Structure 1
Amino acid sequence: MVLAAPAQAQAPAEVGQWASTMNWPISATHASLQPDGKVMFFGEFDDGLGPPRRWDPATNAISSLPVAGYNIFCAGHSYLADGKLLVTGGHLASHEGLADASLFDPFTGTWTRLPDMNDGRWYPSNTTLPNGDVMVISGEIDGVGDFNEIPQRYIAATKTWKNLTTAKEEIPYYPRMFLAPNGKLYFAGPGRETLWLDPAGTGSWKAGPKSLFGKRTYGPAVYMDGKVVFIGGGDPPTATVEMIDLAVAAPKWQYMAPMSVKRRQHNATLLPDGTVLVTGGSSGNGFDNAKKPVFLTELWDPGTNKWTKFSSNKIYRGYHSTALLLPDGRVLGAGGKNTKNGELFSPPYLFKGARPTVSSAPGDVAPGSTFTVSTPDAARIKKVTLIAIGSVTHAFDMNQRLLTLNFTKGNGSITVTAPSNNNVAPPGYYQLFLVNEQGVPSIGKMVKITIVSASSPSAATLPDP
């Protein structure tokens, strides 16, 4: 058991603070932050047939949502440009996937069935594309190793599917897929062999740079400012961390500072100040070793390449656990196999003084533009970040990405430069944060990144990998 007794005696401004456990009716095996700041979650096994729940962080109230009409456990999910959640595949039995797909509308709380996919998908990954379409990759069909090898593109405008027939490839389930600045999709793992997917036409794969460690199964990977960071994972688990910069001409993996403890089945959450919070997991060998729980919370700062130990939570968060950044800067840790509860972590930045205020900001932001954010704290703003709203399951958030924005200070406002194009910022809802000189973030302001036509100069891409 990995505890942190010395850290727990420290002040919250140094190590943060976990709140009391919240008992919930189902395990939050799949969790998504809605554009209204509430959390939609659904459970494991037969709970995937029942009603998803919606939790309101402001009131702590939980309500039931309509059922999808089939078992959405083990589905993939990501957000469309309009804020609807695309849910792909589902659970017939272990390693047997459904071909079903649906849209969940968080504004009306309703489901819309879509045409079936080309075959079953159990553990697929969704990746939003620059024009708002979504690429769905992998997932098992009818047994262990029976992977759906044909990627499919969800055409958002027509609610139809397109098979990438020339991109047939056996890709492991819940692949760590990311939209890169060049407009291609990067398959980062969990194995050493990585790939680039060109989604144009009927698709094509190209070999990518090999990562350094072996298989990082059930290890999270995150995207921040063009870089992918892969943290821990594997069996036996590792504490190692590696990073690749997808924005350079010749990307290659490099080791970063390791965590203080090895982990698998953990979660990694992007924070407003540009750091990465790691929670939960197991340090033991085997699939989901609850006898070796990791309760210690750790934070990685990419600016210093250093890890800091934070306070420990109380509940083992392993297989089927999730973690999400909330608009108020707290992090929800929830779920786990047969674990029907949640915990809230307040990072140290919430104990370091008054937070900046966002008086007003535009609801829609076009890539390549500049926009004004009114704030009485303009003189003290040090950083501005955008974080795409999270949608997480099985140690991987398919939707979160962090972008650091340039800005200039004015009198009572700042002028912010939006991301250059939709390759950098795929369309959809993001949380906009202002961070002051003490590292304290504002409340996240929901903004929608709009779609800029590919013919626009601001949508130009980097050279091919």
Structure 2
Amino acid sequence: MFTNLVLFTLLTLPSTATIPITPKNTSGIAGEWNLLHDNLGISPMHMQLLHNDKIVMFDRTDFGPSNVTLPFNRCRYDPFDPVIQKDCTAHSILYDLQTDTYRPLSIQTDTWCSSGAVLSDGTMVQTGGFNDGDHTVRTMDPCDDETCDWVEYHGYLSERRWYSTDQILPDGRIIIIGGRQQSNYEFYPSSSPDYFIPSLNTSSFWLDFLRGGTVNEAITENNLYPFVHLLPDGNLFIFANIRSVVFDYKQNHVVKRLPPIPGDDPRNYPSSGSSVLLPLDENGPIDPEVIICGGAPRDGSRVRSFARAIPTCGRIKVTSEDPNWEIETMPIARTMGDMVILPNGEVIIINGAGSGTAGWGNARDPVTRPVIYHPDGPPNTRFSVMQSTSRPRLYNSVAILVTDGRVLVAGSNPNPFYNFTNVEFPSELSLEAFLPPYLAKEYDPLRPEILSIDVEVIEYRKPLMLMFTVLKFLKLSRVTVRIIAPSFTTHSLGMNQRMVVLKEDKNVSIVGDLFMKTYSIGVFGPSTAEIAPPGYYLLYLVHAGIPSTGLWVKVE
């Protein structure tokens, strides 16, 4: 009965051993676009995938009426709203990936240019906004019936949070950083932490770095929506304008000042570049790297100057003793692009414009072709250009990864209100899906399918086993197990997005049954909460560069 069993050991292979599967060594594979809905009723500028495969989307409440009505005669009343004081239409929806349907949700305060994160129990937390929403916290508990909706806590935030950034922390709380005219940060929940932060008050804490060092780096220019990434040592990488620091939020102390990104061109809103923390691989020394791509030149943030977008990406090893930026040129200059980590560890850059900057009518030359960045490739050969969509996605567009490996794209409203006529770029209500090259049919024989996982919860440093099947097993390719924290995406920033490649259990070889085409692999849970904060993740098994469909897991 064991005649079909064989043992494959990967211990003799280098950690980078793989068979590259990219568009440049295949026959014309450059991804595929699918239109899912032509009219969602709203034009999303914020989007978050939840662990029950439902997606929260919302725009803002001072747009004027949307194209979807609130049920049960619910309306929003705001006598101070400059556009509409009584609004009986929805500005948020809950989209179900499994049924391809959506239903309206109710938001009572303005969410324009707000931020968000997901707690370890799966609750979505959404912070700040504009006007009556700037001190508000909103929460939503995922549900599988029709009962869940937004719950709003007015006046919860100690400061006005408009264009701020949220980051989930190892202890499960959220740090809320910056915003317009806010050189400070606070926490949700706001209860006192176990550690002491030197400050003049107990609710928000001064962050002098956000003030900038020169007039050109004033808080009102390009320091909004700072790029924030949690580092494996528990500190934060914070980037604003052209400068970045490693920051100890527990002691309110700058640990390290990194060199300015070359070129003197700002990357944050409204220049609107994008940033990701590249995948953290626990199979070797972790040297965290951040990449920042695109944006608009310093003089390009002037209204309707339509300067050419920044064509470069900067990549830096944050914790190196002598960190320096490695600069590469993208195939397409881009501002307002969204960067999404794909299950195989590559990064897609999607949406945006070739000239101009963020804001109403401030951009031209829509960039309809995504590019994929291959982090492990040689410098200056890391980009592949993908298939084009027919729909421009400019200001207030969004993109997220979903369970099956597609990238969902929505939004684009470069107008102050919903406007579908007599404008160059009408408000966009559609929902599209981009299928990266790894979803092409010709890779189906290499595509693994996860059959089972032997734990209900992934615990830190504890072993786990996965059973999987694959039609054509390539024993010389690297097989990895990866977890991805889905992002809260808005304004070209994917907050809390991160990937961890789990450590292989070297005492467990990959065991395969050639007849049944089934195999098993052993790995360990993340080493620390600093590497992977507690919460829900999408788990993917990647074989020969081709990922499985994702499986929701909880890390704690």
TM-score by structure 2 length?
Answer: 0.72
- Structure 1 residues 59-74: aligned runs within 5 Å: 59-65=99-105, 67-74=106-113
Q: Distance in 1 between matches of 2:128 and 2:26?
A: 45
Residues 195-206 of structure 1 aligned to structure 2 (within 5 Å): 195-201=245-251, 203-206=252-255
Gap change, CA 1:394 and 1:211, over 3 Å in 2? same
SS for the counterpart of 1:367 is coil
**Overall identity of the aligned pairs, in %:** 27
1:104 paired residue among 123, 136, 140: 140
Would you say the 8 A contact 2:351–2:393 is kept in 1?
yes
Partner Cα distance (1:162, 1:154) in 2: 13
> Is 1:208 paired with 2:249?
no
Question: How far apart, CA to CA, are the structure 2 residues paired with 1:249 and 1:35?
Answer: 38
2:488 to 386, 391, 395: 391
Shift in CA distance, 251/420, structure 1 to aligned 2, threshold 3 Å: farther
Instruction: State which drifts further: 239-248 or 129-138.
Output: 239-248
**In structure 2, distance between residues paired with 1:231 and 1:153:** 28
1:441 maps onto 2:547 in alignment: yes
Provide the C-alpha distance between the structure 1 equivalents of 2:53 and 2:42, rounded to a whole number of angstroms. Answer: 20
2:134 is the counterpart of 1:75: no
Report if aligned partners of 1:27, 1:44 keep a CA contact under 8 Å in 2.
no
Q: How far is the alpha carbon of 1:247 from its aligned partner?
A: 4.4
d(CA) in 1 for partners of 2:148, 2:496:
20
Query: Which of 121, 125, 149 is the aligned partner of 2:183?
Result: 149
Superimposed CA distance per residue, residues 259-317 of structure 1 (whole angstroms, 9 cap, x where no aligned partner): 11100011111101110111111111344555311111110101114101110011111
Q: Say which SS state the counterpart of residue 365 (structure 2) adopts.
A: coil
Counterpart CA distance in 2 for 1:80 and 1:178 is 16
Structure 2 runs not aligned, ≥5 long: 1-22, 65-75, 77-89, 194-200, 212-218, 281-287, 298-306, 414-426, 512-518
Deviations 1:391-446 (A, max 9, x none): 10000010211222232543232111222211111221111101112x22111111
Give the alignment of 1:32-51 within 5 angstroms.
32-46=48-62, 50-51=90-91
Alignment equivalent of 1:246, drawn from 315, 318, 326: 318
Shift of 1:158: 8.3
Picking from 222, 226, 249, the partner of 2:276 is 222
Shift of 1:29: 0.6
Q: Go from structure 1 to structure 2 and tell me whether the alpha carbon gap of 1:292 and 1:157 turns closer, same or farther (over 3 Å shift).
A: same
Q: How far apart are 1:12 and its partner, in Å?
A: 8.7
Aligned to 2:384: 308
1:390: how far off?
Answer: 1.8
**Superposed counterparts of 1:4-153, under 5 Å:** 14-20=29-35, 22-23=37-38, 24-46=40-62, 50-65=90-105, 67-92=106-131, 98-107=134-143, 109-114=148-153, 116-140=156-180, 147-153=181-187
CA shift at 1:156, angstroms? 7.3
Q: Which residue pairs with 2:232 in the alignment?
A: 181
Q: Please point out which of 360, 367, 392 is paired with 2:460.
A: 367
In structure 2, the partner of 1:4 is none
CA distance in 1, matches of 2:396, 2:468: 40
User: RMSD of the alignment, in Å?
Assistant: 2.6
Query: Quick one: which amino acid aligns to residue 310 of structure 2?
Result: T
Q: Deviations over 1:168-201 (max 9, x none)?
A: 5435221111111121111123x22212321215
Asked if 2 retains the 8 angstrom alpha-carbon contact of 1:276 and 1:299, the reply is yes
Q: 1:125 to 1:385 in 2, by over 3 A?
A: same
CA deviation profile, 1:7-52 (whole Å, cap 9, x unmatched): x9x9997101101362210011100011112211001352596352
Is this contact kept in 2: 1:282–1:289, CA < 8 A?
no
**SS of equivalent to 2:449:** coil
Equivalent residues of 2:61, 2:111 under 8 A apart:
no
AA at the equivalent of 2:546: V
Distance 2:159 2:311 in 1: 37
CA distance in 2, matches of 1:39, 1:12: 34
CA gap of 1:286–1:42, structure 2 versus 1, over 3 A, is closer
| Aligned position for 1:144 | none
The residue number in structure 2 matching 1:353 is 444
Change (3 A) 1:371 1:116: same
3-state SS, counterpart of residue 311 of structure 1 = coil
1:165 aligns with 2:202: no
Say whether the 8 Å CA contact 1:363–1:446 is kept in structure 2. Answer: no
Partners of 1:417 and 1:247 lie apart in 2 by 24
**2:342 alignment partner in structure 1:** 271
| Greater CA drift, 261-270 or 165-174 | 165-174
Distance 1:45 1:155 in 2: 25
The number of aligned residues is 427
Greater CA radius of gyration, 1 or 2?
2
Name the CA distance, whole Å, in 2 between partners of 1:440 and 1:38.
24
> Which one is further off, 385-394 or 192-201?
192-201
Secondary structure at the aligned position of 2:479 is classed as: strand
Q: Using the alignment, how far apart are the partners of 2:406 and 2:437 within structure 1?
A: 10
Counterparts of 1:88 and 1:291, CA distance in 2: 30
Instruction: Call closer, same or farther: CA 1:227–1:376 in 2, change over 3 Å.
Output: same
Q: Which amino acid aligns with 1:269?
A: V
SS at match of 1:353: helix
Alpha-carbon separation, structure 2, partners of 1:282 and 1:131? 38
TM-score, normalized by length of structure 1? 0.85
Note if 1:299 corresponds to 2:372: yes
C-alpha contact (below 8 Å) 1:155/1:162 kept by paired residues: no
CA distance in 2: counterparts of 1:17 and 1:309, whole angstroms:
12
* Matched AA of 2:444: G
Q: Could you tell me how far 1:82 is from its partner in structure 2?
A: 1.1
- Mapped to 2, the partners of 1:13 and 1:360 lie a distance apart of 34
Match of 1:327 among 381, 395, 403: 403
Partner amino acid for 1:274?
Answer: G
Equivalent-residue separation in structure 2 for 1:198 and 1:158 (angstroms): 17
Counterpart CA distance in 2 for 1:47 and 1:282 is: 22
